[in-house]
Chain A
């Protein structure tokens, strides 16, 4: 099956620093990738939709200058949390949708990145 790799799995950083999270589709090309945030005991909240070669589409209430998304290739999207603060501590999950074929409408998920901001 399709595999999505997310790195790092856990990161601890100081308040005010920036953190980059990578999401890679390992065995398929993904025109569209999604970034989610998950709080403890809560559902996944869609943050933004990332389209290869164009600007990401952010959901209402998500600060685009705070959460920078780059989708420079068909296999890689990155999320950078800029000037991180403790309230940004959360579990971030990416997903990718194959560019073609029968599974074009199925999202494949990474294992997630736990961000802890001190």
Chain B
């Protein structure tokens, strides 16, 4: 079946450091790929998405590229801020109702 594997956290970085959160997936067919972010006390928010191979999703300085050959969708940001501290979920969707499979989430802590 479909599954998503992402790196375990927490990831602790200093402000302005480079961020990479790895995500790989297993799926039949051609799923859509997402990164969601959950800030403390809030619901999940869609951060970015990519719907086909080689697509690059980007938002708020974050980027991720849909790599079919390596079945990966790694999240990157060139310079993190304290306000980026949150839990990040990699996810894929399939099917007519866009059912979503989530990774386990990676907690990011950015210290001043």
Residues of A whose CB lies within 8 Å of any CB of B are 4, 6, 32, 34, 41-44, 46, 49, 93, 95, 97, 105-112
A42 to B105, CA, bound (A): 7
Residues of B whose CB lies within 8 Å of any CB of A are 4, 32, 36, 41-46, 49, 89, 93, 97-105
A32 to B96, CA, bound (A): 11
Tally of contacts, chain A with chain B, CB under 8 A: 48
From B41, B43, B98, A6 is in contact (CB under 8 Å) with B43
Residues on the B chain within 8 Å of A105, using CB: 32, 93, 98
Residue pair B43, A93 in contact (C-beta under 8 Å): yes
- Name the prevailing secondary structure of the B interface residues: strand
Residues on the A chain within 8 Å of B103, using CB: 43
The minimal Cβ–Cβ distance linking B8 to chain A, given in whole angstroms, is: 9
Given A34-B99, A49-B97, A97-B97; A41-B43 close (CB under 8 Å): no
From B89, B98, B104, A41 is in contact (CB under 8 Å) with B104
Residue pair B42, A111 in contact (C-beta under 8 Å): yes
The minimal Cβ–Cβ distance linking A111 to chain B, given in whole angstroms, is: 4
The minimal Cβ–Cβ distance linking A56 to chain B, given in whole angstroms, is: 12
Residues on the A chain within 8 Å of B105, using CB: 41, 43
Closest B residue, CB atoms, query A41:
B104
A112 to B42, CA, bound (A): 8
Given A43-B89, A44-B89; A107-B100 close (CB under 8 Å): yes
Closest A residue, CB atoms, query B39:
A111
